[in-house]
Amino acid sequence: MKQLWLFNQINSDLQKVEKELTKFVETDYPILQESGIHLLTAGGKRLRPAFTLLAGKFYACSIEKLIPVAMALELIHMATLVHDDVVDASLTRRGRPTVKANWGNIVSVETGDYLLAKSLILISQIDHPEVSRILAEVSVEMCQGEIQQIKASFDVEQNLKQYYFRIKRKTALLISACCKLGALVSEAPRHQVWALGAYGHSLGMAFQIVDDVLDITAKPSEFGKPIGGDLRQGIMTLPMILALRSSPKGSRLHELLKKVDKSDAEVTETIHLIKATGAIDQSMQIVDAYISKAKRRLQDLPKVSSRKALEDLADFIAVRKF
Amino acid sequence: MKQLWLFNQINSDLQKVEKELTKFVETDYPILQESGIHLLTAGGKRLRPAFTLLAGKFYACSIEKLIPVAMALELIHMATLVHDDVVDASLTRRGRPTVKANWGNIVSVETGDYLLAKSLILISQIDHPEVSRILAEVSVEMCQGEIQQIKASFDVEQNLKQYYFRIKRKTALLISACCKLGALVSEAPRHQVWALGAYGHSLGMAFQIVDDVLDITAKPSEFGKPIGGDLRQGIMTLPMILALRSSPKGSRLHELLKKVDKSDAEVTETIHLIKATGAIDQSMQIVDAYISKAKRRLQDLPKVSSRKALEDLADFIAVRKF
């Protein structure tokens, strides 16, 4: 687990989540055990559990009530990651080989199903009528986002609406659910549940755009996965769509972005062309707008320490390098 | 949908399930829509919804209460089928190309996730505290069974215990849940919920053994998938394990069953060797024992028409050719 200084106030609680997660995914089946532990120890920022814990902290919710929710959300996230790796054909994530790279598609499918099934056990024990419905609806939307991404790959004609549609489902809805459910099980007032959900939504949008920018601008050593992955897979991200807008139809950039098997030199050339259009700056302006929107959602919430943490977290999203 | 005469008394209800399922998996995403409808219209016997409806019929449960449960169970079954196709590398099922054959691994993973997520929506709306927990636990066990199958492939040293362990998870637990949940949402007395679950368990074991026998003995035109699929994939089934028992170590049968890429001639030879040991008859005796056990579980249940249907269904399992 990559420890973020931002999580100082929930550090010991996050460690409890970590410990419980490790115990909970334990199984007598060596392959599942290894692939599960591989995923867990591959790190990750544990953003999703952190959001749940911080949301619950507004209402002094007991950690015992929050931990299963936080665990279920991280398990859903891990399950989608391992299934996405089959889909994306990625071979590294968080600086380490993916489950797919180590064990192949078959084990990836089963590991994802197993982690999801384990999350369902936790969810079935959460004593709140709305939690399972919200998570089921988010799961359906996440699949639809993933399918839209497959369909739209290498499509240089797509517009911003399609992009926002996709990242909402790919990232924002689950982060929004993390915040919302933390508040919900803490019996927060309705309008504050909504506000935290809206915060998570805007923050999730910003988070994914930054991820898409980093795929073009990051240092591989910091980013944990190879640069240009989206380019190679034909996933059209915000910087690409914005760069296409300022390039004439039939330009070299159009040609390269459409190309299915790009050589390393072509990937480098594409990155160079995108950067030259100013699309990275434009994308980061949109990130800033989402971050401001996220922070505004917190204005009516109690002024407690977790509000400050969520504000800082929003600021961190925009400057993160990993 | 393959209409079984056994389902005459629930025919119109099953048609309602079918209609609702088609409506429920509908989506604006062409790929998901096509793969989902492809799976639905590929037929299948709709055994699982039938069990739920028949179990509920003991207690005159309203069809409105039973339909979502029946749908959720069929969706879970379909989701596992489409994920198993990635795992098994099968290209036909129920006489038609699989989703994997038509659209590839990626769409198969997403279609399975989508169908499972849709089932979660139904489950979250079922007003019974135990339903989601039971299904979550079954889902975990099903993954463990699938993983054990991967691990044990081409292993001629495995024993009957391992085989039973696997088919329980692969098939029996979900069929048991179908019966149990039909009774549970109908507010059946506890011991009858248990009896129906136990019936489903024994029947599910018999069903899977018959499936494994048919993989060796069926006519391809009736079976809907190629014969010898288990042999090619190295899945050790009951007839194989029994045949190995009566063949000396190092025999030609051992050698063939261990072999990873069998030619067509080798598959035919293996089938011939298995049949010669009498392992098929032995397997069918075990099926009969499970069928008798299943029927005994029904003895204490009310003597209504669905009891006769479940008894007939048990008898049908042993003689089915598809």
Q: Each residue of B23-54: pLDDT tens digit? A: 998 888 888 888 888 888 876 789 999 999 99
For residue B107, the chain A residues in CB contact (below 8 A) are 147, 150
Contacts of B165 in chain A (CB under 8 A): none
Nearest chain A residue (CA) to B138: A117
Given B113, B132, B148, which is nearest A83 (Cβ)?
Answer: B113
- Average pLDDT of the residues in B146-157: 90
B237 in Cβ contact with B217 (< 8 Å): no
Structural domain tally of chain A? 1
What tokens were used for B12? 């119109």
Q: Is residue B118 part of a domain?
A: yes
Arithmetic mean of pLDDT over chain A:
90
Amino acid at A221: S
Taking CA–CA distances from A104, the nearest residue in chain B reads B87
Q: How far apart are CA A68 and CA A13, in angstroms?
A: 12
Q: Is residue B2 part of a domain?
A: no
Is pLDDT above 60 for A2? no
DSSP A63-123: HHHHHHHHHHHHHHHHHHHHHHHHHHT--EETTEE-HHHHHHHHHHHHHHHHHHHHHHHHH
Under an 8 A CB cutoff, do A151 and B29 touch?
yes
Mean pLDDT of B95-122: 86
What DSSP state is assigned to residue A7?
Answer: G
Report chain B's mean pLDDT, rounded to a whole number.
90
Between B290 and A1, residue with greater pLDDT: B290
Q: For residue A123, give how far its alpha carbon lies from the nearest alpha carbon of chain B (Å).
A: 8
* For residues B257-266, average pLDDT: 93
How far off is chain A from B120, nearest CA to CA, in Å? 5
Q: Flag whether pLDDT at A218 surpasses 60.
A: yes
Q: Print the domain residue range for A193.
A: 8-319
Is residue B315 within 8 A of residue B18, CB to CB? The reply is: no
In a domain, A3, yes or no: no
The CATH code of the domain that includes A283 is: 1.10.600.10
- B31–chain A Cβ distance below 8 A for any pair: yes
Residue A219's pLDDT band (cuts 50, 70, 90): confident
- Tell me what pLDDT residue A272 has: 95
Q: Is residue A129 part of a domain?
A: yes
ipTM for the complex shown: 0.87
* Residues A134, A139, A145, A148, CA torsion sign: negative
From the candidates B110, B111, B153, B233, which should be mutated to test the interface with A, based on the most A CB atoms within 10 A?
A: B110
Task: Using pLDDT thresholds of 50, 70 and 90, give the confidence band for residue B320.
Answer: confident
Does a structural domain hold residue A2? no
Task: Confirm or reject contact between A32 and chain B (CB < 8 A).
Answer: yes
Q: What is the mean pLDDT of residues B88-97?
A: 67
In a domain, A249, yes or no: yes
Residues 117-136 of B with CB under 8 A from A: 117-118, 120-121, 123-125, 132-133, 135-136
Which is nearest to A290 in space by CA: A318, A320, A321?
A318
DSSP-assigned beta bridge partners for residue B93: B96
| Average pLDDT of span A219-232 | 81
Residue B41 CA, chain-centre distance (Å), reads 17
Q: Do residues B183 and B199 make contact, with C-beta atoms less than 8 angstroms apart? A: no
The answer to whether B140 contacts A121, with C-beta atoms less than 8 Å apart, is yes
Confidence of residue A121 (pLDDT cuts 50, 70, 90): very high
Identify which of B80, B83, B113 has the shortest CB distance to residue A143: B113
What H or E segment, with its residue span, contains residue A6?
Answer: none
Q: What is the DSSP string of A11-35?
A: HHHHHHHHHHHHHHT--S-HHHHHH
The structure tokens listed for A125 are: 């024990």
Sorting pLDDT into bands at 50, 70 and 90, what band is B321?
Answer: low
pLDDT at position A103, please? 76
Does some domain include residue B135? Answer: yes
- Find where tokens 């504050």 sit: A192
Give the least confident one: A98-102, A142-146, B260-264, B277-281: A98-102
Above 70 in pLDDT, residue B140?
Answer: yes
Q: What is the pLDDT of residues B174-228, one digit of tens each?
A: 999 999 999 999 999 999 999 999 999 999 999 999 999 999 998 877 777 778 9
In a domain, B265, yes or no: yes
